[in-house]
Amino acid sequence: MADPVLQLSGVTRSFGALVASDKVDLDLVSGEIHALIGPNGAGKTTLIKQVVGEILPDAGTIRFHGEDITQAPPARRALAGLARTFQISALAPEFSALENVMVAVAPRAGGVFHFFRSAQRDSALVQPAMAALRRAGLENRAHVPVTGLSHGERRQLEIAIALAMQPKVFLMDEPMAGMGPDGSQRLTRLLSELKAEAPILLVEHDMDAVFALADRISVMVYGRIVATGTADEIRTNALVREAYLGDAA
Amino acid sequence: MRAEGLFTIALAGGLLAVALIAFAAGETFTITLATKVAIFAMAGIGLNLALGQGGLVSFGHAAFFGLGGYAVGILSSHAQNYDPLTEWPFLIEGTTFMPVLWLVAVIVAGLAALAIGAISLRTTGVYFIMITLAFAQMIYYFAISWPAYGGEDGLSIYVRNGFPGVNTLDPLSFFLLVFAVLAAVILLAWRLKASRFGLVLEAARQNALRVTSAGITPYRVRLVAFVISAMITGLAGALYADLNRFVSPAMLSWHTSGEIMIFVILGGVGRLGGPVAGAALFVLLEHFLGGLTEHWLLFLGLALLAVVLFARGGLAGFVLKGRGHG
């Protein structure tokens, strides 16, 4: 197996008596979709937050392209290419879809400290933003304010923003959440294309999508990774069936 | 943006027209009122950058307004008394030359904002409001207790400072000078709002987490906005000192911070022309209602209440209705 792009070793974080991440070892190699599944409250989002730097682990290390980023500030990690999509869409509600993506383009196209030139006429900003919207299938909705976008479109916009970040890794926290069957299928197709560009760490509850997409699956229960393997291995793993799939499958 | 631009031009044009008509009618006092509106509008535009675009509710902008005023007062009083500011390590003399006074006022306000903002911007919400208020009050009490520059009594500027080619003692000429500065400030605010920086600043207000996860540190963006905001308000303070030919600690007090905030809220938070409308309404209420009753602040309070309850976007929002910020 190639060198991992993202590697977590022994990552531990507790909130009082609750151990949200318990010595988590997890890696992501290029070209793959690595799904992280587990019951609600298992600590999946907490783990993502540690990868992006929103919270810091108590112990363990996080390496990105071999570099230790365990303590790096969130903005630096994002600039290095860790692109996160949020479980609950986190957008600038007063802005149009295009403007939301432009914000993500700015730090990668000359920085944010440009005071006089009109951002709307800045092709270094608008063109990459439009390209990202096009790939996410939102081209026709570019000028619609976020408040006018449907739930599914907001999920697509999350993806467009991540695309505009020239990502080296996608961290997707339930991108399918609340999408209809059509939307889920379209997104499944998009994700299977994207993984060639940058590997995806995918937190998802939609098991159809997970088993269709994931090259590897890790199962998290009570902050611990109880199993990692291919879709078939996970499906047949007794421990997993008992802990998680038992009632779901 | 376009409707907002027209609204702003109309307001500024209206202000200019009022001053010119007053001049034709020989109403000097009205010209002074118009000058006051222009200066207050400028102070509000400064705050609006932090408060409106940035969502940074500064309750300490009197600090920058007052520092701008004191920069002018101190430098010109030294010049008028032929008493250099300092002779060591090298000679610094006062000046009555407005461009230099403005520059000093802007720099002083900017440096103060850099220090105050660097600390205050580590907090948010109510804490930010309180800490900016605390800093402003520190400067206020410092000014009161510093007898060299008038202390509680303030500091007079015997003759209005000069600007090359303009007779600043003539009310209309001084108004036109202030108006030209206001126009430049509006232009600057308009460019800033449409720029990349403005985009990111507004995004950070709407969703700081999103901006961070795009690779931008909101703190830096906000600090720069806070400094520019203070510089504009400081420039307004400098002009206010020359309008009144007097500076006093009142310019630094929390009442002033509140008034600047009222200009912004009455006019429309985050709107380009908002502070111009707000300042005009404030001065009108102060003048006409203040002439009828000394309890005019009660009516100001009612107006503010009406805006907050029924017209969230202030006067600008009311006129522009559904036309969005973008």
Confidence (pLDDT) at A246: 54
Q: What is the pLDDT of residues A46-103, one digit of tens each?
A: 999 999 999 999 999 999 999 999 999 999 999 999 999 998 888 999 999 999 999 9
Q: Report helix, strand or coil for B13.
A: helix
Confidence (pLDDT) at B1: 66
Chain center to CA of B38: 10
Distance CA A188, CA A210 (A): 9
Q: Which residues of B touch A (CB under 8 A)?
A: 191-192, 194-200, 202-203, 206-207, 209-217, 221, 224, 324-326
Confidence (pLDDT) at A181: 84
Confidence (pLDDT) at A248: 47
Nearest to B213 among A84, A108, A118 (CB): A84
First to last CA, chain A: 30
* Residue B86, token pair as written in the block: 């300092």
Distance CA B141, CA B249 (A): 8
Nearest to A119 among B196, B206, B211 (CB): B196
Mean of pLDDT values over A204-232 = 90
Chain A interface, best mutation among B199, B202, B222, by max A CB count within 10 A: B199
Rounded to two decimals, the ipTM of the complex is 0.91
Rounded to the nearest angstrom, the minimum Cα separation between A119 and chain B is 5
Confidence (pLDDT) at A245: 56
* Residue A245, token pair as written in the block: 């799939």
**Beta-sheet strands, E only, within A76-142:** 82-85
Asked if residues A49 and A55 have their Cβ atoms less than 8 Å apart, the reply is yes
Contact assignment for A117 to B216 by CB distance below 8 Å: no
Mean of pLDDT values over A19-47 = 93
Q: Of chain A residues 150-189, which have a CB less than 8 A from chain B?
A: 161, 165
pLDDT band at A247 (very low <50, low <70, confident <90, very high): low
Nearest to A114 among B197, B207, B213 (CB): B197
Phi-psi category of residue B165: left, alpha or beta, with phi > 0 → left and psi -120 to 50 → alpha: left
Which helix (H) or strand (E) element contains residue A49? helix A44-52
Contact assignment for A103 to B325 by CB distance below 8 Å: no
Asked if residues A33 and A191 have their Cβ atoms less than 8 Å apart, the reply is yes
The secondary structure of residue A180, as a DSSP letter, is -
Peptide bond into B89 cis (omega under 30): yes
Q: Report helix, strand or coil for B84.
A: coil
Cβ-Cβ contacts under 8 Å, A55 against chain B: none
What is the pTM (predicted TM-score) of this model?
A: 0.93
Cβ-Cβ contacts under 8 Å, B191 against chain A: 115-116, 118
Confidence (pLDDT) at B7: 93
Confidence (pLDDT) at A1: 53
Q: Which residue of A has its CA nearest to B198?
A: A115
* Residue A13, token pair as written in the block: 């974080």
Rounded to the nearest angstrom, the minimum Cα separation between A246 and chain B is 36
Cβ-Cβ contacts under 8 Å, B211 against chain A: 103
Per-residue pLDDT of chain B (326 residues; tens, 9 = 90+): 688 899 999 999 999 999 999 999 999 999 999 999 999 999 999 999 999 999 999 999 999 999 999 999 999 999 998 888 888 788 888 999 999 999 999 999 999 999 999 999 999 999 999 999 999 999 999 999 999 999 999 999 999 999 999 999 999 999 999 999 999 999 999 999 999 999 999 999 999 999 999 999 999 999 999 999 999 999 999 999 999 999 999 999 999 999 999 999 999 999 999 999 999 999 999 998 888 888 888 888 998 898 888 877 888 888 887 555 54
Q: What is the pLDDT of residues A189-203, one digit of tens each?
A: 999 999 999 999 999
